Structure formats: C-alpha cells, structure tokens
Structure 1
Amino acid sequence: MEARILWADDEIDLLKPHILFLEQKGYEIDTVNNGSEAVDMAASKHYDIIFLDENMPGLNGLETLAQIKANNQSVPVIMITKSEEEYIMEEAIGGQISDYLIKPVNPNQILLSLKKNLDTKDLVSQKNTHDYQVEFRQIGMRLNDRLDVHEWSDIYRKLVQWEIKLEASSDEGMKEIFTMQKKEANTQFCRFIDNNYTDWIQGSMDGPLMSHELLKARVFDAVKKEPVYLIVIDNLRYDQWVVLQPLVSEFFNIEQEEIFYSILPTATQYARNAIFAGLMPLEIEKKYPQFWKNESDEGGKNMFEEDLLRANLKRNNINVKMSYNKVVKLDFAKRLVDKFNELDKNDLNVIVYNFVDMLSHARTEMEVIKELADDEAAYRSLTKTWFNHSPLKEIFKKIAEKGIKTFLTTDHGTIRVENAVKIVGDKHTNTNLRYKVGKNLSFNEKEVFVAEKPSDIKLPQENVSSTFVFAKDADFFAYPNNFNYYVNYYKDTFQHGGVSLEEVLIPFVTLKAK
C-alpha cells in the first residue's frame, strides 16, 4: 500500500477519474464532500496526507485546515482551489499547508504532489545512495594518488558532504561502506602528515596555510581597511560548520570558505596560542617567555591570548583599537550581547567562544550528554541546536545589522576515538589522550607520529630527552596499568590533540553582511 489519503471536496463525484488513477497506483483513498466530515474522519483515522478543497459550503477549506491541524499538527495537507487570490494563499500557507494546487488539476499533478510530500525522503535517499556509489569509486582512486594539501582539503569536503547526506539514508550497508572509506582516507592522511609535516614547519617544502600564519594571511589586511570581527569557536570541526552555515546565512553571505591546517598538537594550548601570536609555540616561548607555559607549568595555558594578539599586531605595524572577549559562561555571553554597542568603538573585535569544546568534554564525563550526542550525526545536531538558541547567534545578528566584515574560524577539530594504543611514560607525562610529551616514552612507532626532537616542528622542549608523540586516526593513548578501564571509559569519546582529518583540517570563513 502506497499511502492512505483523505480527499475533501464538495464536487468529489467529479473527481472519480482522479481517484481511480491514484487507486491504480496503489493509494487507498477515503472521500468526503464537506469540511465537517473531513475533520471527523481525520480525527478518527490515520491519514498519510489530506487533500482539501478551499471553497466548500459550511466549513470552508481554511477553516477545515485549522481544525484538522488543531488535532494533528504533523499531517501533510494539500490545498486545492479555483482562486489565485494572494490572501487565500497567504492564509493557507500560514496554516502550514504542504502544497498548493490550482483547479483544474490533472492526475499527474496530484501524483507529483504526493511523491513530493510523501516519498521525498525515500527518493532522496535512493539518489544519494546511487550518487555516492559513483563518488565512492572516484574518491577511492584519488586516495591512491599523491595528493597535495589542497587536494586533501577537497577530499575531506567531499567526505563531509556525503556523511551528512547519507546520515538520513535507510541504507545501512552504504553507511558502513562510507565509514570504511572515511577510515581509509584518515589512514592515508595520517601517512601524508607523517611524511610532510616536519618539512612544512621547517620551510623546506611548500605547505598549507597553518595556524600561526592565519591572521597575517587572512585578517590583517582587512583590519587596515575597515572594522572587523574575528569569532573563534573553540573545537569546531568542519562538519559542524557545514550544519551551522544555514543559520549563519540568515544574516551573512558566505564570501569565502576555506580549510586551513591546524598545527600539532591539535590542542588549544598550542593551536590557539599560535593563531593569536602568529608564531609557532617554540617561537612564542623564546620571544615571549612571560606568555608561554609548558605542560608541567602551573596555571592555565591560554591566559595570554590577548597579549599575544596585541604583540602580533604591533610586529605587523597595525595600530588599531581592539577588544578581546573570551566566552566561557552563558551569563558573560548575555552581557556581551547587552553591551554590544560599546564594541562599535573598536577597529578589531575578537570573540573566543568555548562552548563546543566544553560540549566534547561534557560528553566524556556525563552520561546524559553522551546519550544526546550518541554518534557523529547527533553531535552535529546538538551543536546546531546550541547555536540556534545561543547568545552567539544574537551576536551574529547584531554584527550583520551593523554591516561589519566578519571572520569565523576555530583552533582545531576533534575526533571520536575508538582504538586504545599502549604507551608508557613517567608521572610527569601529560594527560592528553591524543598526544604525549615526556621523557623516555615507550610506544609502538608504527602506531604514532613522533617528533623525537620537538624543535624540528617548533615545539618547546622542557628536557633534553623530551619527545612528542601523536596518536593517529581514531586511536587514543592508554597506559598498560588499568588499560581496560581506560579503554572502556574513553572509547567512543571526542578527543583532540592528534592527527586526523577531523582535527587538522578546519574552517576559516569570510562573511559579508546581507
């Protein structure tokens, strides 16, 4: 059975050929010739869709629509009318109709409307499955090529697009194939980073745009010409940006969207400090030792971002009035909205918003958040729901009303970890699950990316024998003692600091107010 339809029209007998046509297509149809009966039938029986004639005696179509929707808000209703008057269309659309047809209608029009309103999800799913089968082969062949930094960005964009398209599909087999291909892409990307990252940092090979180069390459020229907002949402993956884009687009046109590469470790202490300082961590430590804290130092590791940004502006001969606001609590975000007009006095306003990072940590520690963000799709959905109801959306709206150029970015991404790999270190080794730094670390070199000499990738070296070790793909580090506990507690949590497409390839977006 295709679907069950209720059709209300005071001239229902004249529609017998249409009804027979639809019954031959497998639809089950109940008919009534007035609005009152339509309301009663809709209340007593389940219908997949309802056709309503707008001009019926007694209860007209709009009145019938209101009563049906009062009892069942979700049922799709198609309004059919002889009138093309604008007020009727507006009232009907305001009453949440699903489609609108003008008499006389032919059977194919009716069938098309049914397909559009009842079968769209299945048709889209089938088309997406077919299209991905074609793309799967193309992506697979490209993964075997020697991809450059831009081609990897393109591959990741395509994977994210397909992941979001396929999440609504009922084809579990195709989803499993996609998961395997994404894992293969991550494995190849980690090999790419392993082979090239050190050369990029040392300047012996042309590399991608990276964290420490971002502001000088993309923001500072704009600041010299006009007021600018820079909004940094901590820990925002590219796929999360994709689902936020329609919400941001309510206020802004996307002037340019690009992917840049986070430095390693893909952790706030390193990547975000590098963005604001315009320097690699080792260079920050040497040039501004008062603003840098190593892993073993007491205190917060990102307490001097504003100082580093001001020093960066000064080095680049940019003398502007700026503000820096870091949002870690809802009350502060609301106050920022309330005092928004005060920011008009500045040439550069920087807002760091920490919610997404807190969400990933909360998901690890709180079972209820883990249930709400059970998988990648749910994690994206929760991010979208947060943004839609957050003060940050109101901030975007206010910026757009002022017509101010805005840049949106992040410091690093995050990956859902699956596989525990063993590592041994002393009590001074840091606690991050995706990278370790310490003396005499013991690990399987085949499972990790290693910087035996941290200065080679411009990272500080607290001790002569200090080594940085990065987890790859969806791996995470666990110590041999209490290994099973670590595996059970941290598996399927979102972590950052290591090497993966999700952590390294992150968005930078240029926005122009509508």
Structure 2
Amino acid sequence: MSEISILWVDDEIDLLKPHILFLEKKGYAVTKCNNGADAIDLCNENNYDIVFLDENMPGLSGLETLSEIKSKHANLPVVMITKSEEEYIMEDAIGNKIADYLIKPVNPNQILLSLKKNLDHSRLVSEKTTSNYQQEFRKIAMDLAMVNSYEEWIDIYKKLVYWELELENINDSGMIEILESQKQEANSLFFKFIKKNYQDWIHNAEDAPVLSNNLFKEIILPEVKNSKGTLLVVIDNLRYDQYNIIEKTIDKYYKKQVEVPYLSILPTATQYARNSIFSGLMPLEMEQKHPDLWKNDTDEGGKNLYEKEFLEAQLQRLREPLKFEYYKITNLKSGKQLSDNFNSIKENDLTVIVYNFVDMISHAKTEMEVIKELASDDKAYRSLTNSWFLNSPLLEMIQKSQKLGLKLIITTDHGTINSKTPSKVIGDKNISSNLRYKTGKSLSFEEKEVYAVKNPKDILLPSLHMNSSFIFAKEDYFFAYPNNYNHFVKYYRNTYQHGGISLEEMIIPCAIFVPK
C-alpha cells in the first residue's frame, strides 16, 4: 500500500512535533505548514490524501482556507481542528463539507482515529461487510434446506436483497459471485416450492399468501377506509431491490407504517397481474365476468386498457362507494401535467397512479444498445431506476401528496429477472410471444425447465383454444425457438424479462406510508 500523505496546517505547527513524530512512526508522511496561503499553494502542487487544518490562524482563517481548498479539490478530506466550540464555526465548517471536526487539545489517538475513519473507512466497511455476509451465508444456506412456507421465502428473499445491496458497495467480486450462486440455488428451490403449492393457493388454501387478485381487498382497501385520502402508486415492473433503493428518497417525506410483500399471480406479466389487482379476480374470472374488458394474449389491441373499469366493478362488488380517480402515466408530459394539477385530487378517497417507466427500461434494454450499456447488470439497473425516480414527476407528486396529508401506498404488479439461460420451445404459429411463459396448443418443451399446466382452468387461467396449455420458465431461463436459435439467444440473453417463476418476479413490495 502506498504511503498516506498528510498536510497539517497550524500557525503553531512546531508545538505539534510529538503528534507528527507519532504519525511518522505509524508510516504516514506529514507535510508541515503554518499559514493558509501556503496551504492552498501546497494543495495545488501536491496530491495529499488528507488535510488537518487549524481554524484559528492569522491572515487567512481556517474557514477561508477551507473554502479555497474545497473550491479546487472538492474530494480532498479536510479535518478542522479548533479551540472554539462555538456552534456557528462548526456549522460553517460542516457547510463546507469537512471530513471531521476535532477540538483542541487533540491527542495522537484522536488524530489516528480520524485518519482511519476517513481513509480506511471503505476498507474497514468492506472487511466488516464481507465477514458479516460470510456468517449470514451459512445461516441462509441452512434456511434454504428447511424453508417450507411463503413467509419463510419472503424472509430469505429480503435477506438476499439486503446483502446484494450491501455487497455492491464494496469491491469484492468473489463475495458477489458467492451471493449470485446462492440466489441461483434459492431460485431453483423456490421454483419447486411454487410448482408444488401454487394450484392449492389459487383454490383458497388456508395457508395461501396474499396474491394479486386479493391485494386490493385484503391490504389496500382497509388502509383507504382508515384514512382521509390515499395515494396508491403502482410502478409497473418494480422489483424488490429497486423499491428498496427508491424508498430511501421516499423516507424524507413519509414514514413507513408497514411493509406487506405479496406474491404475483402467474403469469407474472402486466396484462394478467395488474388487471388482477384492479379487478380483484383471477384471469379466468375476468374473462367470464367481463368479456368486454378482458383480452387474451393473441387478441388485438392493448391488454391493460380497462384498469379503471375493473376497479369500478370491484368496488361495486364490495359495496364500497369510494370517490376515486385513476391515472396512467406513460411519458414525461403526462407525468408533468398530473403533477402540475395535483392539488385537484385532494377531495378523493383514493387516487390511483399507474406509472410505466420501469417497465419501459426493461423493454428498452432488449431493443436499444445504449440502454444495454446503462443497465448492463442488476446494480446498473437499480442505479438507472433510482436516477429516473429522483428526477421524475412521480417524486414531485409524492412530495405534494405529503403536503396534502395523504396516506401513500407504493406497490407493483410483478418484478423482472435478468434472463441468461435459453430453453428450447416449439409450438404452432398462434403461440404467445412472451419469453418467460408460453400459452398455445401443441407446445413442445424441456420438462425440467418449466412448470407446465395442461389445463389452464386448474390455475384459473383462460384457454386460447380447446387444447391450449401454459408453461412457465424457471430461474433465469427464457424460451427460444429452434429456428434461428443462435441469433435469438444472442439477442435476448442478458435482457430483463417477466412472466415466469423466480423470487425477483413473484415476491414484490407493497408498502404503506404516512406523512412526516
């Protein structure tokens, strides 16, 4: 490791000789300086790792010197040392982004601690994070061997997401690879768990989780009835890790009351899962009760054009005469327009906003080279989502919602997974186009790589034809046709897809917030 270089600025620098000798014995290189003007010149001429700066000096004061140094070297850590404990001095120094603040007289150990805190912070955090995950890895591995309920799966997935976010901040590719393999093992076991239990859940098993079709009735409606106004935001295609990232910003305006992760129905695709949320019905029930509103995979036209009508029908069925408005935002212009007129919604019992941006990122990654670069992996995908959210009309609306005193509910319809493994499938020309599930007749596929449902009615899905079946891809598989196979695989590998069975697609957030 190269020698750490320190600039120490104090008009009585000769009195600090014992401190400087102490640091030099510890292997640090210390440059002495007794005034602010020389300190600025030295910083311009040399690459110091850190500056210790006396606040009370003749000529240029410590604060003036600090301001000059920071104007040209914004990332250089500066530790302010002062005799004064007056609040305004501390505030000025902190406002100028000091790295630390020490009160005279300082002892050598205080200096050493400040150095470690500022220069070794990343290494120490990295070592501690790695050590903690190594311990947690063994615990998660044991939990995976025994998991037997959807609640336990939710806990495991939340732990995996937590460690994914922790490890992305350290440069340890080995640890990240270990986590990725653990996620892969978890997804393999989760697939078997879903295959075993899903049909029973659909037919109202006592141990069934909250699914898309009962999310509104079980979770959202009681919150709406228990508040003077609620903003429900459904961000299409929002994965749990992405939600965790944007929650940090929401936390500035809202306090999280409760988080209720729920499971998307199959297929984990917008036309099925989101219509199910708003209708309170399974897809087969939607087709039967609302043939004018429901569209199957191969039908012409948009598949999510009637969410407002589905919600109206659900509220009528539940005999809940709520005053509500529904908005679907698919571009910046419509988002800005709603944000500009946001105060008009304050008399509603419920305002629903469906926001489509994250879904557009995942589709654009498949089709546009620039998005492939920007969202090359899960870490980049999260970063892109966060960047969008911080600059979006949606955040403006959440800020205005807080000022109006509205309760806030954030949820989604399904997640998405980075698809890496091709699985061959053959079907007739009317087979559906989604890469993570297929429906149609005469499907031929790899049995081990799918959850196959020969009779869609068994899981309350409509049939395209008399002999239609459904297949759902497991883990990170995606379906590819034998014709032009290599080109197809190259084009779609490492793209974000949804519709199948994975922790990322099925375990999704629903969080209730109250204004701060």
TM-score by length of 2: 0.98
Counterpart among 448, 451, 457 of residue 449 in structure 1: 451
Q: Which residue of 2 aligns with 1:217?
A: 218
Q: Who is 1:206 aligned against?
A: 207
SS at match of 1:290: coil
SS of 2:161 mapped into structure 1 = helix
Task: State the shift of 1:117 in Å.
Answer: 1.1
Residues in 1 aligned to 2:272 and 2:494: alpha-carbon distance in whole angstroms = 24
2: CA distance between counterparts of 1:204 and 1:40?
74
Partner of 1:125 in structure 2? Answer: 126
Q: What is residue 112 of structure 1 aligned with on the other side?
A: 113
1:277-327 deviations in whole A, cap 9, x for unaligned? Answer: 001000111011111001111100000000000111111111021100000
The equivalent residue for 1:426 is 428
Counterpart residue number, 2:323: 321
Structural mapping, 1:461-476, within 5 Å: 461-476=463-478
Cα shift at 1:482:
0.8
Q: Distance in 2 between matches of 1:212 and 1:49?
A: 57
How many Å apart are 1:146 and its aligned residue? 3.8
Q: Which amino acid aligns with 2:309?
A: D
Give the structure 2 partner of residue 228 of structure 1.
230
Q: Match of 2:34? A: 33
The letter of the residue matching 1:279 is L
> How far apart, in 1, do the equivalents of 2:79 and 2:484 lie?
61
Q: Which residue of 1 aligns with 2:505?
A: 503
* Structure 2 match to 1:249: 251
CA contact (8 A) 1:199 1:205 kept: no
The 2-side partners of 1:47 and 1:12 are apart by: 18
**Partner AA of 1:243 in structure 2:** I
Contact 1:4 / 1:49 at 8 angstroms: preserved in 2?
Answer: yes
Q: Cα distance, 1:15 vs. partner?
A: 1.0
Indicate yes or no: 2:191 matched with 1:190.
yes
Aligned pair partner of 2:291 in 282, 285, 289: 289
**1:196-250 CA distance string (max 9 Å, x none):** 1111112245211110000101121232333111100000000001111110001
CA distance in 2, matches of 1:487, 1:168: 31
Q: 2:364 and 2:166 mapped to 1: Cα distance?
A: 27
What pairs with 1:343-492 in structure 2 (closer than 5 Å)? 343-492=345-494
- Give the Cα separation in 2 of the matches to 1:163 and 1:136: 12
**What SS does the aligned partner of 1:179 have?**
helix
Q: Deviations over 1:332-389 (max 9, x none)?
A: 1001011011111211100000000001111111111111112111111111111011
Deviations along 1:176-207, one digit per CA (max 9) or x if unpaired, are 11111110001000110011111111224521
- Mapped to 2, the partners of 1:233 and 1:475 lie a distance apart of 24
Q: How many angstroms apart in 1 are the aligned matches of 2:464 and 2:30? A: 77
Give the superposition deviation at 1:3.
1.6
- Give the conservation status (yes or no) of the 8 Å contact 1:327–1:353: yes
Contact 2:5 2:29 in 1 (8 A): yes
**Contact 1:274–1:280 under 8 Å retained in 2:** yes
Q: Give the CA deviation at 1:260.
A: 0.4
Distance 2:386 2:294 in 1: 34
- Indicate conservation of the 8 Å contact 1:9/1:53, yes or no: yes
In structure 2, relative to structure 1, the CA distance for the partners of 1:82 and 1:146 (3 Å cut) is closer
Offset at residue 393 of structure 1 (A) = 0.6
Q: Is the 8 A contact 2:262 2:510 kept in 1?
A: yes
Q: How much is the aligned-residue C-alpha RMSD, in angstroms?
A: 0.9
Give the whole-Å Cα distance in 1 for the aligned partners of 2:29 and 2:234. Answer: 54
Q: Deviations over 1:477-512 (max 9, x none)?
A: 000011101111111111000000000000000001
Worse-matched range after superposition: 100-109 or 501-510: 100-109
CA contact (8 A) 1:224 1:318 kept: no
Which of 229, 233, 239 lines up with 1:237 in the alignment? 239
> Equivalents in 2 of 1:266, 1:403: separation in Å?
33
Which secondary structure does the structure 1 equivalent of 2:346 belong to? Answer: helix
The SS at the match of 2:261 is strand
Alignment of 1:324-343 (within 5 A): 324-343=326-345
**How far off is 1:453 after superposition?**
0.5
Aligned residue for 1:82? 83
Summarize deviations over 1:39-67 as a string: whole Å, max 9, x none: 00000110111111001111111111111
How far apart are the structure 1 equivalents of 2:138 and 2:39?
51
Equivalent pair of 2:439/2:464 in contact (CA under 8 Å): no
Work out whether residues 413 and 503 of structure 1, in 8 Å CA contact, stay in contact via their aligned partners in 2.
Answer: yes
1:82-141: CA deviation from partner (whole Å, max 9, x where unpaired): 111111111111111111111111111111111111111111110111011111111101
Counterpart Cα distance in 1 of 2:485 and 2:330: 33
Partners of 2:245 and 2:26 in 1: CA distance: 37
User: What's the CA shift for 1:424?
Assistant: 0.2
Displaced runs of 4 or more, over 3 A? none
1: CA distance, partners of 2:440 / 2:91? 67
The residue aligned with 1:24 is: 25
CA drift of 1:2 comes to 4.7
For residue 92 of structure 1, what is the aligned residue in structure 2? 93
**DSSP 3-state at the match of 2:364:** helix
Task: Check conservation: 2:229, 2:347, Cα contact below 8 A.
Answer: no
Matched residue type, 2:131:
H
Would the aligned equivalents of 2:213 and 2:277 in 1 still touch at CA under 8 Å?
yes
Q: In the aligned structure 2, how far is the partner of 1:161 from the partner of 1:380?
A: 13
What TM-score do the two structures reach when normalised by structure 1? 0.99
Rounded to whole Å, the distance in 1 between the matches of 2:324 and 2:170 is 47
Query: Which sits farther off after the overlay, 421-430 or 20-29?
Result: 20-29
**The one of 489, 492, 495 aligned to 1:493:** 495
**Could you tell me how far apart the structure 1 residues matched to 2:403 and 2:3 are?**
48
Gapped regions of structure 2 (runs ≥ 5): none
CA distance in 1, matches of 2:419, 2:27: 47
Distance 1:223 1:174, change over 3 A: closer
**Paired residue type of 2:454:** E
8 Å CA contact 1:4–1:27 kept in 2: the answer is yes
**What is the DSSP-based 3-state SS (H/G/I as helix, E as strand, rest coil) of the residue aligned with 1:219?**
helix
The answer to whether the 8 Å contact 1:232/1:352 transfers is yes
CA distance in 1, matches of 2:188, 2:81: 55
Which secondary structure state, in structure 2, belongs to the residue aligned with residue 242 of structure 1?
A: helix
SS at structure 2 position matched to 1:289: coil
Relative to structure 1, is the Cα distance of residues 452 and 45 closer, same or farther in structure 2, using a 3 angstrom cutoff? same
Q: Percent identity?
A: 57
